[in-house]
Structure 1
Amino acid sequence: MLSLRLTRGARPFVLLRRSLVAVAAAGAGFLLLCALGFAAGHPADPRGALARLLWCAVPLAATVQLAVAVARADPSTRPGPGFTAAGLGPARSALLAAASMATACALGSALALLTFLHLRGDIGGSWLIWAGSGAAGRQLGAGHPLPLAGAVTLVGVVPVLAGAACAACLWPRQPRAVGAPRATAPATPAVPTVTTGPVGPRPDHATSALPWGIALTAAGLALEAYAGSGAPPRLDALLSASGRLGGSPPGVVGGWALTAVGLVLAGPGLTHLCGRLLAIGRPGVLRLLAGRVLQQEAGLIGRPVGALCAIGSAAYAAMELYGTGSGPSGSRLYGPLTGLGAALVLMCAATATLTAVLEARSARERTTAALLRLGAPVRLLRGAAALRAMALLVLLAPLTWVVAHLTAMPFTH
């Protein structure tokens, strides 16, 4: 009930973010149900059904990331002292935010189920004439019974994963003191302090995952080079990829997954490095302000930026892959489900990045107000923001292009 009251009293922008989470959950749930429909309509092709189900992990992960980003920026995760005195502490606030995201995802999953059943013609009439017959009907498994247990399980996957991820990321944790001497006998009883989800990692911890990110990216590129050096895939096969592993795509898919995870892990470290490069030498006021702010916010905006880099490299590799592929009529067309998944992943990554940027801007409101009181012109603050964005673009765009080119190289040579 409290979650519903907070939802009703939320600002329009907060409601818009939650609506985007529901839309993303609807898209991910629809893709999962399409994989189930294909399995029901093609019982003799279990490998194809399993491949479609595994590829749904990408939009599912993007939806969960968006839910976590929206939950971190949700005002309900930072209750005032009145709520804390009433018993709504950091732990209950985390559970409240997780319940809100799970509810939004459940609404989206229910909408996906209704849409899927309508397109199959199971309830009422089909919304589209071509949905019950032809290629689209075969992809959705129209005319074949749908397993009820499988449909209910797939519908509940998105809300359960989103709620669990939000609760795990927002759960309060004890801060670990770095370099603090041990006190033998404290004079006064220590008051435990906790940090909640909206607080980003410390600046000195932002680069801790950079070596792991580089190692995973290199391992993913090496695996793709080994498993993807075959003939270009046919375009008419929806999820085909060439490779040496028995003609199946696991090696290529595993390489792409390792590369994407490596870029996401390396995002905070690369953002922190970009801030250090801005403030190197004897910087002026503009470069110093932009570099310090970028280093401070690296742990907050780094991973969404790394996810954008991973999506950019994957999009370039997919364009090169389908450019070398050939369909039965020489066409160069993507399937509707492929387009839906790509649009869903791009929307989730862009929204998560924008949400992280707005959260960082809200976190430095006091610093901005102090600078304005000291007489700093507004033009200086805007120039520092533009310089941060330009520095990230200059550093990460060539890196993304190199990773994308190395990813697509086994298919084009």
Structure 2
Amino acid sequence: MFYLRLARGYRAPDLGRWLLTATAGAVVAGFLLRSLGRAMSDPLGTGDAVVRLLWCIPPLAAVAWFAAVAARAVPAQRPERITGLIAAGAGPARIRALIAGETALAGALGSALTLLVFLVLRNDIADAALAAEVGMGVALPAAAPVALLALVPLVAGVAAAAAVPVPEALPGRGPEPARHGFHVLRIALPIGLTVTGVALEAYGLRVGAAENTRLVRLPAGLGTTDLAALGGWAATALGLALLTGPLLAGAGRLLALARPTPLRLLAGRGLTAEARRLGPPLAVLALTLAVVLTVIRYWADTPGTADLLPVVEAGLLAGCAVAAVLARLAEIRTARQGVTDTLLGLGAAPRLLYGAVALRALTAGTILLVTGGLTALLGAATLS
């Protein structure tokens, strides 16, 4: 009943966050149930069941990450809701548990809908193409789907509980001092990873590397590649992703150099201030899109190698990344509302504020184009 009372005060962002979590949970539940159906249909001893379960880990991690980002934005977007809960006697642990329970409830609803569709398809409705996917004709153990589907709300709820910054939103506590810079190790580590990765990939793609016996067969029909090239690309992709935040902060500082205009000053200071919060979701989005575009290019050059399961998983990963970026942007917009109101009260033109937002977006897009494009280029070289 308490969750129903909270739902009565939902706004469009709350409903969107809840529905997106339920939808993503339903898709992941579909992957889990498909692996269960194939495990019941395939003969014993094939060993493919473990591989199919491993394919469910990336989308499950994507749902957990989106749940964490969305839950973190709740106290900033709905401060009156948090204040009301505190006034009613709820402490930080109770508030964190409520937000986690709300997220877990959305994941449970999506999983339940998928289970209903799964059971309906098993009732002699699925055609021959789906019979093996749902394990038609084989007795379904009652505990198996319940145990698998419990992973979705459990992982989403735990991720949401760990991400909610409740102490920052408690009344009477001043905001923690913002840290705009990055430690030297935070910058040196991704640079070292990027340089090492490029060197490893160059070694793996050297002339005569095709005769090397250390080849790795990639999943999803992506052929084989050299182990050094694959490891080098992975290190480079991780390094470029970790460099996104420092690059955003550096670009913001460059915008504010050399007697900047008010437009450049607002855009640069805002980008530097939000680089820590905006960097991780943008890095994940750029990395996801780079991998997806690389795989699509390989499949286009080698017809007949595409697999449906990785396509659906890639769509889910990209959707979770986009939704996480939107949630983080909404959180930042709410956090900067006081600064915006102050500037408008001092006589700043709305056109100036919109121009600063556009300049920040253009700068961030350029950085993502460079890091994501380099990741995709090196990935294409690895798969060629």
Residue ranges of structure 2 left out of the alignment (5+ in a row): none
Cα 1:220/1:234, change in 2 over 3 Å: closer
Name the structure 2 match of 1:12.
Answer: 12
Counterparts of 1:31-50 in structure 2 under 5 Å?
31-44=31-44, 46-50=46-50
The higher relative CO (CA closer than 8 Å, separation ≥ 6) is in 2
Correspondence for 2:250 among 263, 270, 273: 273
Residue ranges of structure 1 left out of the alignment (5+ in a row): 175-190, 246-250
Cα 1:409/1:146, change in 2 over 3 Å: farther
Query: Identity of aligned pairs, percent?
Result: 39
1:201–1:299 Cα contact (<8 Å) kept: no
> Helix, strand or coil: the match of 1:166?
helix
1:278–1:291 Cα contact (<8 Å) kept: yes
Query: How far 1:160 sits from its partner (Å)?
Result: 0.8
1:67–1:162 Cα contact (<8 Å) kept: yes
Residue type at the aligned position of 1:269? P
> Helix, strand or coil: the match of 2:348?
coil
Correspondence for 1:395 among 367, 371, 376: 367
Residues 132-181 of structure 1: per-residue CA shift (max 9 Å, x gap): 313x433443333444433222201111111111111125569xxxxxxx
Cα 1:221/1:317, change in 2 over 3 Å: farther
Measure the CA separation in 1 of the matches of 2:43 and 2:199: 35
> Helix, strand or coil: the match of 2:10?
coil
Name the structure 1 match of 2:270.
Answer: 293
Cα 1:77/1:347, change in 2 over 3 Å: same
**1:111 matched to 2:88:** no
Query: How far 1:322 sits from its partner (Å)?
Result: 1.8
**1:242 matched to 2:224:** yes
Name the structure 1 match of 2:147.
Answer: 153
Q: TM-score, normalised by structure 1?
A: 0.78
Query: How far 1:391 sits from its partner (Å)?
Result: 0.6
Cα 1:87/1:291, change in 2 over 3 Å: same
Measure the CA separation in 1 of the matches of 2:14 and 2:184: 31
Measure the CA separation in 1 of the matches of 2:5 and 2:234: 40
Q: TM-score, normalised by structure 2?
A: 0.84
> Helix, strand or coil: the match of 2:132?
helix
Q: Which moved more, 1:29-38 or 1:307-316?
A: 29-38
Correspondence for 1:138 among 90, 108, 132: 132
1:309–1:396 Cα contact (<8 Å) kept: yes
Measure the CA separation in 2 of the matches of 1:14 and 1:7: 9
Residue type at the aligned position of 1:300? R
Query: How far 1:406 sits from its partner (Å)?
Result: 0.8
Name the structure 2 match of 1:374.
Answer: 346
Query: How far 1:375 sits from its partner (Å)?
Result: 0.8
Residues 280-324 of structure 1: per-residue CA shift (max 9 Å, x gap): 333211111001001111122211111111112101221233234
Name the structure 2 match of 1:177.
Answer: none
1:21–1:67 Cα contact (<8 Å) kept: yes
Counterparts of 1:200-239 in structure 2 under 5 Å?
202-205=179-182, 209-216=186-193, 238=220
Correspondence for 2:281 among 284, 296, 304: 304
CA RMSD of aligned residues (A): 3.5
1:271–1:295 Cα contact (<8 Å) kept: yes
Name the structure 2 match of 1:187.
Answer: none
Query: How far 1:401 sits from its partner (Å)?
Result: 0.9
1:233–1:325 Cα contact (<8 Å) kept: no
1:109–1:155 Cα contact (<8 Å) kept: yes
1:201–1:300 Cα contact (<8 Å) kept: no
Cα 1:20/1:383, change in 2 over 3 Å: same
Cα 1:145/1:125, change in 2 over 3 Å: closer
Counterparts of 1:71-110 in structure 2 under 5 Å?
71-75=71-75, 78=79, 79-110=81-112
1:230–1:242 Cα contact (<8 Å) kept: no
1:77–1:93 Cα contact (<8 Å) kept: no
Correspondence for 1:170 among 159, 164, 180: 164
> Helix, strand or coil: the match of 1:74?
helix
2:290–2:372 Cα contact (<8 Å) kept: yes
Name the structure 1 match of 2:27.
Answer: 27
**Count of aligned residue pairs for this structure pair:** 374
> Helix, strand or coil: the match of 1:203?
coil
Cα 1:368/1:64, change in 2 over 3 Å: same
Residue type at the aligned position of 1:369? D
Residue type at the aligned position of 2:144? G
Residue type at the aligned position of 1:17? R
Query: How far 1:64 sits from its partner (Å)?
Result: 1.2
Query: How far 1:227 sits from its partner (Å)?
Result: 8.2
Query: How far 1:271 sits from its partner (Å)?
Result: 2.1
1:91–1:171 Cα contact (<8 Å) kept: no
2:233–2:382 Cα contact (<8 Å) kept: no
